[in-house]
Amino acid sequence: MVDNAPAERRQPSVYAEDLTLIGDEGPVFGPLNFSVPPRGITVLTGTGGSGRTALALVLAGRMKPTKGKLSVLGMSKPRDIRRHVAIAGVDQIDLLERSVTVRDILNENKAWQRNWFLPYRKADTKDLQYYCGAVYGQRPFPPLDAYISQIPTLDKILLRISLSLHPVNGDHIDMLVVDDVEQVREIGDRIELLNIFARLAEHMPVIVNSVNELPPGSPDHIEVELNTNAGHVEGRARPARALVAAQLHQGKHHEPKHHTANHHTQPAAETETRQ
């Protein structure tokens, strides 16, 4: 089959070569070599101390890597990357205070987006639809006057994602990074969250951090398993109806091997490879 999509739409959204981060206490991750397709869900897996959150911050332009090459949406400078990459679920960045209401959260965001000398009205249901409609879809919104401590965990992360996609500087967001999907502990809610990611991933790449593999019933995704002790990344696709495996080792890439499951031959999105 001939791919007639424009060249820029076929390019990986993220390309990392020997990407390394070294902190005050030593190596955090790397060197890592991997790429992320221009659409779909990519899951970064690994143990809690594997540097997944640090890698997510680097991919979102919130941290600068120590060594290596990184291209995100065709950009290499962190200040350019962070203008077009949203990140949610990192407590140091977007933790919601338990003692405020949903309306308070929206009011604060509205206030930051306006000129300081202009008045603004309090958030109402129209604002809730504006900020959260694309993420929530058919899911009911939380009540405006509900305290953050009163709403379900799934709604908390959905609010954080919704706000991240509407930055106060008004920049257009072209990629979403979400940390720690396991903070949504109930499997049913987590599946709903992943299905929301799948819907968003039809329009932009979505990168998700997870300690474990995603549960059965999850939408198609590419899995990138971090192994910082060995200094390499292993990437493998885990679609719902087919399986594509790729090993991306330190310093070189290997061609993905194609496997099928349940006698289906539907191809999945492939991890970008480079000889």
Ranges 2-16, 82-96, 116-130: which has the least confidence: 2-16
Condensed to tens digits (0 to 9), the pLDDT of residues 18-70 reads 999 998 888 888 888 889 999 999 998 876 666 888 999 999 999 999 999 99
Query: CB-based contacts of 126: which residues, under 8 Å, 6+ apart?
Result: none
The candidate with the shortest Cα–Cα distance to 268, out of 226, 240, 233, is 240
Has residue 167 been placed in a domain? no
Q: Model's pTM, two decimal places?
A: 0.79
Number of domains, the chain: 1
Are 78 and 62 within 8 A, CB to CB?
yes
The CA distance from 15 to 272, in Å, is 8
Has residue 224 been placed in a domain? yes
Q: What is the CATH number of the domain that holds 41?
A: 3.40.50.300
Sign of the alpha-carbon dihedral angle for 133, 63, 107, 185: positive
Residue range of the domain that includes 244: 7-96+172-260
Condensed to tens digits (0 to 9), the pLDDT of residues 136-191 reads 999 999 999 999 999 999 999 999 999 999 998 889 999 999 998 999 999 999 99
Structure tokens at 130: 């504006």
